[in-house]
Amino acid sequence: MPDCKTFNRYRFLALAALAGIMLASGGLNGTPAAAELVDRIVAVVNDDVILLSELEQAMAPYVERLSAMGYSPEKEQQMRYKIREEVLNQLIDRQLTDQEVRRLGISVTPAEIDSAIERVKEANFLTDETLREAVAQQGYTMAQYRENVSSQILRTKLVNQEIRSRTVITSEDIKAYYESHPEEFAGKRRYHLRSILLPRDLPDLARRQRQVDDALEGGAPFAEVARQYSQAPQAPEGGDLGEFPLDSLSAPVRQAVAPLAEGGTSAWVDTEQGYQRFYVEKIRRSEGKPLEEVEARIQETLYKQFVDEKFRSWLETLRQRSYIHVVK
């Protein structure tokens, strides 16, 4: 007895032959052959087929955006081929998961579909009428839309049953993520800055810059030099600007300040106000979030990462044990 993959090869040849007969004869009604290809098989996935019409419908939104990008005909052809490959692979994966849904007897009720549609309407501030209009604009009927929602629910149930239920996030996983992402949880650095400002239109700008440089290199306190030479309103306060998180500073200032430690002084920086030198009075880290406060969020992040990784692995295993034949 032939194995499953051999049987499916025979089945593909039979389906392809039938498609060829229909194309050559103009269909099953004996009408003359048409001059154009109506439809054909682009992939066989175990006992199911994917048709060219299905592929083109799935590709349509991407092709429409591609056409608007203004690529040369050659480049557009290359991009279109790449889109075709990626979308066909997505359809094959979807077909495989749908087959697993049927094999495992997973089902969905009309009430679950209704509930999912209501959540879509609520999340997007849609009434029943505006949802129907949006569905029609995408070229679907409500029956087709409900079928799509049903398929999505079934696939979610499959993932929950086959993958999520077997995914465990430990406290060690959560702690390791917390400790490896200090920029996310440990709080932001805040820089207490002073500056010396010299406007660009200052008549003796170069001489004033040299005087500032000589005074600082001679060991004079930055605040004193600022009081003597700075043209900014904060000069009487020793050029005190206050405290700032690094990401709130303009790009040139941020690049000058970021490498500095406490007590460090920057070179001259060309800013919107004029030429400035900055002094880091103090660096303070704002209070971070304790592990207990962000534990649930980290767990959800890790859960999604693990599920995505396991789903890709599970899908690859499913592909390896399935019969898949792609017709270019």
277 lies in a domain?
A: yes
Closest by CA position to 294, among listed 189, 190, 182: 182
127 lies in a domain?
A: no
In tens digits, the chain (328 residues) has pLDDT values of: 344 444 444 444 444 444 443 444 444 444 444 445 578 999 999 999 999 999 998 898 889 888 888 889 999 999 999 999 999 999 999 999 999 999 999 999 999 999 999 999 999 999 999 999 999 988 789 998 999 899 889 988 888 888 877 778 899 999 999 888 877 787 778 899 999 999 999 989 999 999 999 999 999 999 999 999 999 999 999 999 999 988 899 999 999 999 999 999 999 999 999 999 999 999 987 777 888 888 999 998 998 888 888 888 889 999 999 999 999 8
28 lies in a domain?
A: no
Provide the β-strand partners of residue 192.
243, 282
Which structural domain range is residue 259 located in?
188-285
260 lies in a domain?
A: yes
Q: What per-residue confidence (pLDDT) applies to 4?
A: 47
Q: What per-residue confidence (pLDDT) applies to 37?
A: 57
Burial of 161 (0-12, 13-18, 19+ CB in 10 A): middle
Q: Which residue has the tokens 């009428």?
A: 129
Taking the model in full, what pTM does it have? 0.53
Which CATH number does the domain housing residue 201 bear?
3.10.50.40
Query: How many domains does the chain contain in total?
Result: 1
257 lies in a domain?
A: yes
98 lies in a domain?
A: no
Q: What per-residue confidence (pLDDT) applies to 121?
A: 92
274 lies in a domain?
A: yes
Q: What per-residue confidence (pLDDT) applies to 168?
A: 83
Q: What per-residue confidence (pLDDT) applies to 284?
A: 87
Output the CA–CA distances (angstroms, integers) from residue 140 to 54, 57, 136, 148, in the order listed. 13, 11, 5, 10
